[in-house]
Chains A and B, each alone.
Chain A
Amino acid sequence: MDGLIWDHPDKNGEFDWLAIDQINNIAIISTAGIGPVPLQSTQDREFLLGVYNQILDLPIIGEAVFIRDHGLCADWADASDRGFFCYDWDYDRELYEIISVPTNTLKAEDIFYSELYKYAKRVALSLIFKETKEIKTNIQIKKNSVA
C-alpha cells in the first residue's frame, strides 16, 4: 500500500472519487457505499460530493462505450461522453470494475481551467485505464501525487 491509507468516507452512501493514470487520462470511481477510497480523496470529500455538477459542465467530446451491462448507468454515460473512464465497486469480488470507457479520452491537462484538474491530479494510479478492467485496492498510488 506504499504507506498510503484507504478509507471509507461515506459508508453506505454513494461516493465518487477521481484519479488519473500514467498517461493522464481521468477516471471517476464509485464506491457503491463500500469500496475504499484513497486518503487524499477523503480529504477532498466536500468537492467530490458535487463532482458530477463539474463533470456535466464539461463539453461532450465523444460517446460512452459500456463494457459491462450495469443497470441504469445514466451518470456514467454522462461522464464517459465527456472523456472519463468509469469504474464501480463490485460487491462480490471486492474490487473496482470498469463500467464504461470513452470513445474520446480526456487528458487532465485538457481541463486545466476546471477545478476537476486539481482534484483529479491528487490521486495518480500506477496503471493505464485503457488497459485496466479491474482496480484492486492494493494498487500503488504515487507518493508525490498529493498536490
Chain B
Amino acid sequence: MTRGPDFTNLGQIAQRRAAYDTDNMPTQVWAQQSGVTTYFSYDGDGDRVKKTTPGGATTYYVGDHYEVKNDESLKYLFAGNLRLIMIKGTNTFYFHKDHLGSTSVMTNNSGGVEETTQYEPFGSTREHTGTDMSGYKFTDQELDNETNLYNYDARLYDPVIGRFGTADSIIQNTYDPQKLNPYSYCRNNPLIYTDPTGHMIPDDSLSGGELEGSHSYIGDYNFDRPETLWDKAVMGGVQYSFGLISAPLAPVAGVGSGLIELSEGNISAGQFFGDLGYGILTSPITVAEDLLSGDPLRMGRGTAGAFGFAALGKAAASKIGNSLATKNGLTSLNTAEVALGEELFQLSGQSSKTLSDVSVAIGATNIRTGQATVGRAIRGVTGCAEMDAAAQLGGNVSDIRFTMPVRPRTGQIVPVCTNCQSIFKKTQFPSGTPFK
C-alpha cells in the first residue's frame, strides 16, 4: 500500500528540483524520493516525445497511440477519448476506468486481474495491488514513477499536494475565484472534474456546475426509471460512485447529506438507498473489504454500501433482471463495453481496408437476458449498427442498452444513426452520447 507523506513531519516531504525550457516545460527533474534525474524532450507542440532516466531506461512517445518503452512497443486503442486496450508485444491488457477516466483495474486477455489501483481524491495512490502494468492511472494521465508526478501535458502535477508544479498560462474563467490560483487543480474539486490538458476543465463537464455534480450522487435516482441507473452505471463502466471515490468523505458528505435530504422529505427512502446502491454497485468486493478492515471510517462506508446494495437488490433486481450477471469477473453492466473493446481489438489487427469496412460498431446488451453483442454497420450494406445489435439480441427493443457508437476507422465516438433516433430512446444510450 502506498500513502502520501506525513505533513506533520517535514523531513518526509519529498524534494524535487527541475529545470525548464523556454516554453516552461520541464526538461529534467531530480527527485529526492528516487534520487535520480529524469530527462524529458518535447516536440514543437509541447507534447512529450522522450523520457530518459540515468539507468538508460528510455521511453519514446508517438502520439497517444504508440510508445516504445525500453525497446518494447506499446500500442493503445481508444474509444473516443477512453483508453481501452494496451497491446504489449503479443499480450493484450484491458483498462477498466472509473467516472474520471482513472484506471481502477487492468485485466489480461483471459479476464485475470493484473493490477488494481485506488486513489485519494487528488490522485495520490490510496491502494495498489498487482504488477504495475501501465503508467496511465489517475484521470488517464501518465504517472512518472521516478518523480511521482503526473504528466498533464502542459504541466506536471503533484497528486500528494494536489497542485501543479508550474503556473497555468491560461485562466479559464476570471470570474471564478476557484480558478484564479494558477497552481490549483480542477477548481480544487477533483471528484467531478478532470483537466485533460493541464490547462483547463473541459467545458462540457462544467455545464452542470459543482452543485449539480454533488446532487447526482445524492438525489435524482428513481426506481421507477431504471434507465437512470443504467445511464449512470454505463457512463462510468466499472467506475466508482462519488461515495467510493471520495473515500473517507463518503459517509460524511454523501451519506450524511443523503440522510438530511431524506429526513427533510426532499428525497424518498428509495432514492436514497438507490444512490447508495449505485455507489457500491460496481465494487461489492471493496464493500466487503471495508467491512472487514477494522478502520472505523471504512467500516462506516462499507456498512452504508452494503445497506444500499441490499436495498438496490431488493427494489431493483426485478427491473434490471440479469444485468448483474457476470462475465470475466465484471458485471454485465459493462459487458457491452467489453464486447465493443474486443471488437475494436480484433479490427485493429485487420488490414486497413477491412478496418474501414466496418463503418460503425456499437456494444449492446439486453437487460432482461444479460446477453451482450456488438452491432456493426458495414460499408456498402444497408442498415446501421444499432439495428444490427437489436436484431442479434432479439426481444423488446426497449430492453436494449447501448454503448456509445464508435467508428473503428478512427476510434471516434460518433452520433447515433439518424433513423434509430426515432426507434430508441436517448436513455438507452450513455449520457453524453452524440445525436444529430
Q: Which residues of A contact B (CB under 8 A)?
A: 10-15, 30, 32-34, 45, 49, 52-53, 56, 69-75, 77-78, 88, 91
Contact = CB atoms under 8 A, between A and B. Distances in A.
12 contacts: A12-B360, A12-B377, A13-B380, A13-B381, A33-B414, A49-B379, A52-B352, A56-B353, A71-B410, A72-B348, A73-B410, A74-B351
Given A10-B380, A34-B415, A72-B410, A91 B434 contact: yes
B353 A52 contact: yes
Interface in B71-107: 77-78
Interface residues of B, number: 34
Nearest to B47: A69
Contacts of B379: 10, 13-15, 49
B127 interface: no
Nearest to B380: A49
Nearest to B350: A74
A63 B287 CA distance: 54
Contacts of B412: 32, 71, 91
Interface of B: 63-65, 77-78, 348, 351-353, 355-357, 359-360, 377-381, 384-385, 407-412, 414-415, 417-419, 434, 436
Contacts of B353: 52-53, 56, 75
A69 B377 contact: no
Contacts of B377: 12-13, 33
A13 B378 CA distance: 7
A74 B352 CA distance: 5
A77 B384 CA distance: 26
A8 to B, nearest CB: 10
Given A49-B379, A72-B348, A88 B355 contact: no
A91 B414 contact: yes
Given A71-B65, A71-B410, A75-B353, 14 more contacts: A10-B380, A12-B417, A12-B418, A13-B379, A45-B380, A49-B379, A69-B64, A70-B410, A71-B409, A72-B411, A73-B410, A74-B351, A75-B352, A75-B356
B352 to A, nearest CB: 4
Among A11, A13, A74, max chain B CB count under 10 A is at A13
Contacts of B65: 71-72
A73 B407 CA distance: 11
A84 to B, nearest CB: 13
Contact of B436 (A14, A34, A75, A88): A34
A13 B377 CA distance: 6
The interface residues of chain A, by DSSP majority, are classed as loop
Nearest to B353: A52
A30 B357 CA distance: 12
Give 7 nearest A-B pairs by CB, closest first: A71-B410, A74-B352, A75-B352, A71-B411, A14-B359, A49-B380, A13-B359
B64 A14 contact: no
A56 B381 CA distance: 22
A27 B356 CA distance: 17
Given A13-B377, A13-B379, A34-B415, A75 B355 contact: yes
B323 to A, nearest CB: 28
Contacts of A49: 379-380
Contacts of A13: 359-360, 377-381
Contacts of B77: 72
B272 to A, nearest CB: 39
B411 A12 contact: no
A72 B418 contact: no
A25 to B, nearest CB: 21
Contacts of B419: 12
B415 A72 contact: no
Contacts of A75: 352-353, 355-356, 409
Among A14, A34, A49, A69, max chain B CB count under 10 A is at A14
Contacts of B380: 10, 13, 45, 49
Contacts of B356: 14, 52, 74-75
B415 A14 contact: no
Among A53, A77, A88, max chain B CB count under 10 A is at A88
Given A12-B377, A13-B377, A14-B379, A33 B359 contact: yes
A3 B436 CA distance: 27
Nearest to A9: B380
A15 B351 CA distance: 17
A52 B381 CA distance: 16
Contacts of A11: 418
Nearest to A73: B410
A72 B436 contact: no
A145 to B, nearest CB: 24
A119 to B, nearest CB: 16
A91 B80 CA distance: 13
Nearest to A52: B353
